[in-house]
């Protein structure tokens, strides 16, 4: 029984559950803002499961492709189940593809072809374009590849309405522009790992100073974006005031990374960036519900 539980935990780890949770939350917030999905709670749960499976599939396939490189990096060689040898590569591949097929199947069955197409595009873009092509070739891999992590609002909105409007596009843009400073803060902390694996991350190719400047630039661009949702019927002052304070703190921490170089400030920015996106979407959801 213990071995079975451990195996289940390893397959769960393959999906990167914290990323799955954050990805699903951004989709849930889009449903909250849309406002008409609460009348179908069973349907809503199914679609959220499909959104989570989309992220889990993409993350699992990413780990399958990078398993040999993950074995070279201290940060991943023991924590991730494939380089640690706790899961067979073929098992990981089958499991990850199964999650993707399940996600698209649920969306086709319960929603529409547009939402299923967004889910399929998310998985293929992340694995084929970002993981296999962009990441090993350019220090700006995450600037473009970050689009894959920003699609949950598009999937949710398409599932609920069958269309795409300016609100989900703003939600997409917030996550898309949030991703580079979030990821570059991590890259500043683990440069040696990325150098060992041969990934041309921005701090390695263009230096820490350039990376810190770009982190500040992206934080300045990202922080005001949530305010573009002002005026939508389900968006109120709870969210807008919270977004202002969260954005100010995001900028402050980015500036600290610029002014006080070191792993400690970069690590704190990375941790805060996760909290920033999480709290922003919680506030958006609570405001819409109230």
pLDDT attached to residue 289: 85
Domains and CATH numbers, the chain: 2-289 (1.10.600)
Interval 135-157 mean pLDDT: 94
Q: Is 49 exposed, middle or buried (0-12, 13-18, 19+ CB in 10 A)?
A: middle
Across the chain, mean pLDDT equals 95
Whole-structure pTM value: 0.96
Q: pLDDT tens-digit profile of 204-231?
A: 999 999 999 999 999 999 999 999 999 8
For residue 209, the SS3 value is helix
Query: Residue 40 CA to chain centroid, in angstroms?
Result: 26
Distances (CA, A) of 51 to 25, 27, 267: 9, 7, 28
Q: pLDDT tens-digit profile of 71-80?
A: 999 989 889 9
Tell me the chain's radius of gyration from C-alpha atoms. 19
| Percent of all residues in the chain with a pLDDT value above 70, rounded to a whole number | 100
Distances (CA, A) of 259 to 201, 265, 266: 21, 10, 11
Q: At what angle do helices 89-110 and 2-14 cross, to 10 degrees?
A: 70
């Amino acid at each position: 029984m213990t071995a079975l539980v451990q195996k289940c935990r390893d397959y769960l780890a393959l999906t990167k559950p914290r990323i799955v949770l954050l990805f699903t939350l951004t989709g849930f917030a889009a449903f909250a803002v849309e406002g008409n999905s609460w009348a179908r709670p069973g349907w809503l749960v199914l679609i959220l499961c499909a959104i989570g499976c989309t992220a889990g599939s993409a993350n699992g396939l990413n780990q399958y492709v990078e398993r040999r490189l993950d074995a070279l990096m201290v940060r991943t060689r023991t924590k991730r189940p494939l380089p640690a040898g706790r899961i067979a590569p073929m098992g990981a591949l089958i499991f990850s593809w199964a999650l993707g097929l399940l996600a698209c199947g649920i969306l086709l069955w319960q929603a529409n072809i547009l939402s299923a197409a967004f889910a399929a595009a998310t998985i293929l873009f992340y694995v084929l374009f970002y993981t296999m092509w962009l990441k090993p070739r350019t220090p700006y891999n995450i600037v473009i590849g970050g689009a894959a992590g920003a699609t949950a609002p598009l999937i949710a909105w398409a599932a609920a309405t069958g269309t795409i409007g300016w609100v989900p596009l703003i939600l997409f843009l917030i996550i898309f522009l949030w991703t580079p400073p979030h990821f570059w803060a991590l890259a500043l902390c683990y440069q040696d790992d990325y150098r060992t694996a041969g990934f041309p991350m921005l701090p390695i190719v263009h230096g820490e100073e350039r990376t810190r400047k770009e982190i500040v630039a992206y934080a300045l661009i990202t922080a005001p974006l949530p305010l573009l949702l002002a005026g939508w019927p389900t968006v109120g002052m709870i969210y807008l005031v919270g977004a202002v304070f969260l954005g100010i703190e995001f900028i402050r921490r980015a500036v600290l990374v610029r002014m006080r170089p070191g792993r400690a400030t970069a690590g704190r920015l990375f941790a805060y960036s996760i909290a920033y996106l999480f709290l922003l979407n919680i506030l958006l959801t609570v405001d819409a519900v109230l």
